[in-house]
């Protein structure tokens, strides 16, 4: 796990789908059970082995246990498998299907590299790259089979009541903010406080609370905290477990998300969103940001497309946010319509868990 919640978020979602929807016996190795416990409240970080939602969860620690590998081995996000385990894979008959599950990217080369084999330099093993992506030539992205049913049953009024929010007021803009620390947040909050309509900002506990507290001049914020300034009302929510996060996205008109898992959920939510991509050295992350903007923005009118790109860049560069906000806000109705079309494109491209199962079955057979 590289960044607290993103990696385990994707791995846990995939593991749960494989068990629940494909009747596959799944063992998930995790090196940071404390972070995993936030997303999966039923998990006990003090136990080295346990079963949650039909998935066996094991603590990854050194020295690694000597055990029989499964029929399929998925190494997620460039994690290096212990050498003792790789050697056990080579001894197993038949040898496991070895999958290297990569990070999600919209870059053009992803489709060309998806499913390519990589022979081990020493052992009789072949690793296959599996790239999530946004078109049919990639591995797709995760979405549970019951997603549409849960969405149809969702009640915004019920959700707002569950977090202590009153009924929506006329003209209210409701925003969720799940982000890394961001120096541009103070200027954005100032814009919202001077709005001509009510703005409600829901902030799950996380790293952005440091920036939020600094902007309001308060030293410590925690779940239940409420802040007001002009037209803006801010409410700090308890850390949202994975199963409830979709409801937060559905309840809002605009969602700020970060990393990979929440980024994908925001796309399925069919709402305008802002992606805070994980920062990398030498601004390498901005290449990935632009690749997605180019793909996602196709079909938008020029004005909305420019407003989208300008605000996303301002948010990720943490400067110029206030200047970019008015045009972005004006584009929200167009972006809302576009979000529905985009979700339909994602669905047509295929779903990751199903594609992974199909790929592995072909290799096994």
pLDDT tens-digit map of 286-342? 999 999 999 999 989 999 999 999 999 999 999 999 999 999 999 999 999 999 999
Does 132 lie in the same domain as 44?
yes
Does 286 lie in the same domain as 223?
yes
| Domain coverage including residue 81 | 5-142+350-364
- Tell me what pLDDT residue 2 has: 37
Q: Point out which residues pair with 201 in neighbouring strands.
A: 175, 234
Which run of H or E residues covers position 270?
none
- Tell me what pLDDT residue 34 has: 86
- Tell me what pLDDT residue 220 has: 86
Does 333 lie in the same domain as 359?
no
Does 274 lie in the same domain as 155?
yes
Does 298 lie in the same domain as 184?
yes
- Tell me what pLDDT residue 185 has: 97
CATH number at residue 177: 3.40.50.2000
Does 341 lie in the same domain as 224?
yes
Active site residue ranges: 7, 260
Does 10 lie in the same domain as 129?
yes
CA nearest to 316, candidates 347, 288, 351? 288
Q: How far apart are CA 24 and CA 51, in angstroms?
A: 14
Q: How far apart are CA 98 and CA 71, in angstroms?
A: 9
- Tell me what pLDDT residue 259 has: 86
Weakly modelled stretches of the chain, pLDDT under 50: 1-3
- Tell me what pLDDT residue 28 has: 96
- Tell me what pLDDT residue 219 has: 83
Does 235 lie in the same domain as 274?
yes
Does 236 lie in the same domain as 91?
no
């Amino acid at each position: 796990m590289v960044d607290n919640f993103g990696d385990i978020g994707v791995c846990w979602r995939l593991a749960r789908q494989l068990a629940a929807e494909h009747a596959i016996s799944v063992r998930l190795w995790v090196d940071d059970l404390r972070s995993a416990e936030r997303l999966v409240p039923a998990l006990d970080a003090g136990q080295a082995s346990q079963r949650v939602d039909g998935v066996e969860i094991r603590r990854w620690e050194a020295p690694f246990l000597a055990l029989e590998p499964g029929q399929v081995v998925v190494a997620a996000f460039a994690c290096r498998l212990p050498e003792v385990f790789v050697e056990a894979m080579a001894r197993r008959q038949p040898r496991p299907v070895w999958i290297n599950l990569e990070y999600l990217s919209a870059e053009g080369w992803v489709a060309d590299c998806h499913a390519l084999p990589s022979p081990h330099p020493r052992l009789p093993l072949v690793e296959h790259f599996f790239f999530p992506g946004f078109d049919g030539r990639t591995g797709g992205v995760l979405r549970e089979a019951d997603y549409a049913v849960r969405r149809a049953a969702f009640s915004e009024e019920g959700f707002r009541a569950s977090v202590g929010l009153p009924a929506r007021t006329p003209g209210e803009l409701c925003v969720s903010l799940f982000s890394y620390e961001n120096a541009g947040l103070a200027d954005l909050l100032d814009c919202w406080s001077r709005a001509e309509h009510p703005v409600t900002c829901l902030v799950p506990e996380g790293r952005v609370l440091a920036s939020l507290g600094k902007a309001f001049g308060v030293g410590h914020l925690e779940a239940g905290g409420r802040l007001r300034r002009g037209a803006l009302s801010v409410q700090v929510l308890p850390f949202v477990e994975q199963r409830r996060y979709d409801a937060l996205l559905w309840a809002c008109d605009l969602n700020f998300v970060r990393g990979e898992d929440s980024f994908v959920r925001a796309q399925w939510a069919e709402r305008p969103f802002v992606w805070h991509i994980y920062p990398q050295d030498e601004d390498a992350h901005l290449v990935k940001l632009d690749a997605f903007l180019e793909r996602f923005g196709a079909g938008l009118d020029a004005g909305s497309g420019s407003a989208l790109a300008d605000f996303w860049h301002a948010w990720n560069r943490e400067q110029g946010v206030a200047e970019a906000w008015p045009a972005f806000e004006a584009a929200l109705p167009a972006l809302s319509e576009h979000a529905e079309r985009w979700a339909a494109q994602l669905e047509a491209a295929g779903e990751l868990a199903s594609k992974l199962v199909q790929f592995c079955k072909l290799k096994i057979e």
